[in-house]
Amino acid sequence: MKSLSRREFIKATAASTAAAAIGVSLIPGMEKSVFAGTTTWHKSVCRYCGVGCGVMVGVKDKKIVAVKGDKECPTNFGLLCVKAFYLNRINYAKTRLLHPLVRKNGKLQKASWDEAMDLVAKKFKKTIDENGPDSVAFYGSGQAYTEETYIANKLFKGCFGTNNVEGNPRLCMASAVGGYLTTFGGDEPGGSYTDIDKCDCFVLIGSNTAEAHPVVFERIAKRKAKNPNVKIIIIDPRKTPTNKIADLHLKCIPGYDLPILHAMARLLIKEGYADEDFIKNHVAFSDGKNPMNYEQFKQFIEEFTPENAAKTCGVTPSEIVEAAKLFGQAKTAMSMWTMGINQRIAGVWANNLIHNLHLLTGKIGVPGSDSFSLTGQPNACGGVREGGGLCHLLPGHRSVKKPAHREAVAKIWGISPDKIQPKPGLHTMAMFDGLAKGNVKCIWICTTNPAQSLPNLNKYLKGMEEQFMVVAEAYHPTMTTELADVVLPVAMWSEKEGVYGCTERRSQHLAKCVDPPGEAKWDGEALMMLARRLGYGDKFPFKGPEDTWNEYLTLTKGTDMDLTGMPYSRLKKVRGLQWPCPSEDHPGTEKRFVKGDPLFKGEGKINFYKKPNGRAIVFARPPKGPEEPTDAQYPFALTTGRILEHWHTGTMTMTVPELNRAVPKAYVEIHPDDAKRLGIANKDMVEIFSRRGKAQMEARVIDRPRKGTLFVPWHWREALINLVTTDAIDPGSKEPEYKVCAANLKKA
């Protein structure tokens, strides 16, 4: 190994000398030169999307110098996307915050940790004393490590006694959670990435997999390349890069895909593709309020003929027929979806209808088949959904509403069960509305940037400015830190250890590779500093993440997401483990609800044991459209999304010049026919406006969105599209409808 790296160094020298001879400088960009010297490699997980790719972090002279794909990780087998390739840069951005900031005379000024924390503690104490615990709140992140969310949850729900604990997965995965809970009784997919390698028909709906989950996309593409008979159906208003592998694209009108799913279900039953045995033994039916029987369900979906559905959805009847046929004929099928389904006022229902297709055809619980939600953030599943970092949850898939759950948690937390409120706290949008109205007076925000990422921002920015806001963040300025009263510099990826849980129920350990810069501290430590100042120090005896994780594990024991078999000592050796994993000799669970799942009891091929009678539910949901349909004044459906090179609000990716080079600024995709009609040429500056706000950006005239649809990647603060988006929420999941609102545009 040593001689190889030395040789790489000599090669780099040889190449750069040759380049110098023709007046070219190679060395600064030559990633290969980092192999020189003594680079040590640490096992970790990518900081970006929810796929959970294994990475190896190269450290030399106490600095992260390189990141490469972990060939042994079964998630990505060494493959990475370009964001991950430049991960080694994000720790050393110029915008890293190195010391606490406290607002004095209207300006954020350098302060000591003690000064900052004393102020935070004083504010929190006074607010709680004067206005009760529900006047404070915590807003966390699917990017924080599990241990950090756990500490915050314990402090706020268990010690302060408020359930005002939320996280950005509310904006991203809440509808998927609602879908899994209502249909199957338990959150998170039953299948795994390994199903991709055996799947014959993929339905990608509301997902631009190629850009948002590139490594999963390559796995699907590979499956199809090796097996040309594999079919891929895409249901999306845009022709995205994902389309390259599609056999069939149903280019529906944004917000109107529910009838397509019902029409597919109807055809699957009519054409004899339904698995009647499976339905008889493992499925129940419901209209959402009352149970119904199979016949009643058939009557309900009878009106969703391909013709009827096609009318509202903007696709042709034959496309729906073809989609149902491909799905029905395939031996195995997987559905995958992301924000196009979740970020909708009918998000939970759309999730239910996707599950319906699998339950009606028995295409679930067998290798190659699953109803498989793709997660947006690296630890939305692990930290927030499993860790209970939402206002209605407690750790270990528990609910604040259930007395037994509160008791179990209170026992481990060493508090009285009465301390945990039985009523859910404020969900994300209500929490920021509370800030705007002054009901929430103090908030701690961790690892996220709501001042850029919330929808309909005009309504919420003022509240964030006015109330006392503590932001624990690795970067400054962000739109949120700029509004804060106290900004705490925190350790980021690779500067602390912890666990991420990804899409397929896999928990993976992230090593601490280097020390945090400046005065930055672990988020958990910052929260414990507050706890100690408010007299709860005894509840937080944790020396670091490992102690925290161990306490959390005791809370998962015996639950459906049992992590007991995953102490750090084991996680450090393996490439993650999939729960349930009840003991250290348990290999983890690739497929839930079937043989091999330690919780699977009894006979039969599948048992949805999270439901009282072991049956999953097929729902007859009304075909709800978007909150704000287009009209004469706002004739365009605006939809927002992601691109390969940037991530979310860009606090990380926009510090990497190479990624900015590829996509330096915001743009809106507009169909050539629409552009022509409005006299807009490629690269013209345009203004997009809705009933709520406006944003300016460059036009990209391209045949990608369907006519009448505008698509905007939402990463840039300079072109703040979230001033335009709607904050209407799904009544069940409380997730906002980022994906559809009515808008218009004009030349700027």
Partner 1 sequence: MPISGVVILIEPKKSQKIFNALKKTEGVTTYGLHKDIYIVAVFEAKTTKELETMSGHISKEIDGVLGVYPTYLHFEDETEEA
Partner 2 sequence: MFNLLKNIANSRAPLRPPGAVDEKDFVKLCIRCRKCELVCPYKSIKTAHAEWGVKMGTPIIVPREVPCYLCMKCPEVCPSGALKEVKKEKVAMGKAVIDTSLCLPYNGIICRACFERCPIYREAITLKDEMYPEVHPDKCVGCGICERVCLLTDQPAITVISRHL
**Residues belonging to the active site:** 83, 172-173, 339, 376-377
Q: Which of 438, 437, 464, 442 has its CA nearest to residue 451?
A: 464
- Out of partner 2, partner 1, none, which partner does residue 321 contact, by CB within 5 to 8 A per kind? none
Q: Site for partner 1 (CB under 8 A): which residue of 1, 2, 3, 632?
A: 3
CA distance 233 to 247: 6
* In the complex, minimum distance from the CB of residue 307 to partner 2, in angstroms, rounded to a whole number: 33
Binding mask 9-28 for partner 2 (x = CB under 8 A): -------------x-xxx-x
Burial of 10 (0-12, 13-18, 19+ CB in 10 A): exposed
CA distances from 242 to 208, 211, 233, 333, 487 (A): 6, 7, 11, 18, 39
For partner 1, the closer CB: 26 or 702:
26
Q: Give the footprint of partner 1 on residues 24-63 (CB under 8 A).
A: 24, 26, 30
Q: What are phi and psi of 696, to 5 degrees?
A: -110, 140
- Out of partner 2, partner 1, none, which partner does residue 80 contact, by CB within 5 to 8 A per kind? partner 2
For partner 1, the closer CB: 29 or 612:
29
Interaction between residue 215 and partner 2 (CB under 8 A): yes
Interaction between residue 15 and partner 1 (CB under 8 A): yes
* In the complex, minimum distance from the CB of residue 382 to partner 2, in angstroms, rounded to a whole number: 23
Stretch (H or E) spanning 658: helix 657-662
Stretch (H or E) spanning 310: helix 306-313
| Residues counted in the chain | 748
Burial of 81 (0-12, 13-18, 19+ CB in 10 A): buried
Interaction between residue 716 and partner 2 (CB under 8 A): no
The SS3 of residue 566 is coil
Q: Give the footprint of partner 2 on residues 364-423 (CB under 8 A).
A: none
Q: Answer yes or no: are the C-beta atoms of 512 and 497 closer than 8 Å.
A: yes
* In the complex, minimum distance from the CB of residue 380 to partner 1, in angstroms, rounded to a whole number: 40
Q: Give the footprint of partner 2 on residues 223-242 (CB under 8 A).
A: 225, 241
Strands in 40-45's sheet, in edge-to-edge order, are 40-45, 54-60, 63-69
For partner 2, the closer CB: 23 or 106:
23
Q: Answer yes or no: are the C-beta atoms of 374 and 209 closer than 8 Å.
A: yes
For partner 1, the closer CB: 26 or 366:
26
Interaction between residue 57 and partner 2 (CB under 8 A): no
How far out from the chain centre does Cα 104 lie? 36
CA distance 744 to 288: 36
Q: If DSSP states are collapsed to H, E and C, what string results for 692-709? A: CCEEEEEEEECCCECCCE
Structure tokens at 55: 């990475």
Q: Answer yes or no: are the C-beta atoms of 460 and 728 closer than 8 Å.
A: no
CA distance 379 to 576: 13
CA distance 626 to 634: 14
Q: Give the footprint of partner 2 on residues 618-647 (CB under 8 A).
A: 644-645
The sign of the dihedral angle between the CA atoms of 376, 382, 385, 387 is negative
Question: Within a 10 A sphere around the Cβ of 4, how many other Cβ atoms?
Answer: 9
Q: Please tell me the count of residues contacting partner 2 according to CB under 8 A.
A: 40
CA distance 552 to 421: 20
Interaction between residue 221 and partner 2 (CB under 8 A): yes
- The residue behind tokens 């590779």 is 513
- Out of partner 1, partner 2, none, which partner does residue 662 contact, by CB within 5 to 8 A per kind? partner 2
Interaction between residue 18 and partner 1 (CB under 8 A): yes
Q: What are phi and psi of 280, to 5 degrees?
A: -60, -40
- Out of partner 1, partner 2, none, which partner does residue 569 contact, by CB within 5 to 8 A per kind? none
- Out of partner 2, partner 1, none, which partner does residue 11 contact, by CB within 5 to 8 A per kind? partner 1
CB burial readout 125-160, b (16+ within 10 A) else e:
bebbeeeebbbbbbbbbbbbbbbbbbbbbbbbbbbb
- Out of partner 1, partner 2, none, which partner does residue 214 contact, by CB within 5 to 8 A per kind? partner 2
Q: Give the footprint of partner 2 on residues 649-688 (CB under 8 A).
A: 657-659, 661-663, 681-683
CA distance 328 to 275: 10
- Out of partner 2, partner 1, none, which partner does residue 658 contact, by CB within 5 to 8 A per kind? partner 2
For partner 1, the closer CB: 16 or 194:
16
- Out of partner 2, partner 1, none, which partner does residue 15 contact, by CB within 5 to 8 A per kind? partner 1
- Out of partner 1, partner 2, none, which partner does residue 679 contact, by CB within 5 to 8 A per kind? none
Binding mask 26-55 for partner 2 (x = CB under 8 A): x-xxxx------------------------
Q: Answer yes or no: are the C-beta atoms of 274 and 297 closer than 8 Å.
A: no
Interaction between residue 20 and partner 1 (CB under 8 A): yes
Interaction between residue 4 and partner 1 (CB under 8 A): no
* In the complex, minimum distance from the CB of residue 636 to partner 2, in angstroms, rounded to a whole number: 22
For partner 1, the closer CB: 16 or 243:
16
- Out of partner 1, partner 2, none, which partner does residue 629 contact, by CB within 5 to 8 A per kind? none
For partner 1, the closer CB: 15 or 534:
15
Interaction between residue 1 and partner 1 (CB under 8 A): no
Q: Give the footprint of partner 2 on residues 80-99 (CB under 8 A).
A: 80-82, 84-86
* In the complex, minimum distance from the CB of residue 15 to partner 2, in angstroms, rounded to a whole number: 11
Interaction between residue 98 and partner 1 (CB under 8 A): no
Q: Please tell me the count of residues contacting partner 1 according to CB under 8 A.
A: 18
Widest Cα–Cα separation across the chain: 80
Q: Which of 66, 70, 67 has its CA nearest to residue 53?
A: 70
Q: Site for partner 1 (CB under 8 A): which residue of 22, 105, 280, 538?
A: 22
Question: Within a 10 A sphere around the Cβ of 79, how many other Cβ atoms?
Answer: 18
For partner 1, the closer CB: 85 or 600:
85
Q: Answer yes or no: are the C-beta atoms of 421 and 427 closer than 8 Å.
A: no
Interaction between residue 632 and partner 1 (CB under 8 A): no
Tell me which residues touch partner 1 (CB under 8 A): 3, 7, 10-11, 13-24, 26, 30
Chain residues binding partner 2 by CB under 8 A are 22, 24-26, 28-31, 69, 78-82, 84-86, 210, 214-215, 217-218, 221-222, 225, 241, 244-245, 644-645, 657-659, 661-663, 681-683, 702
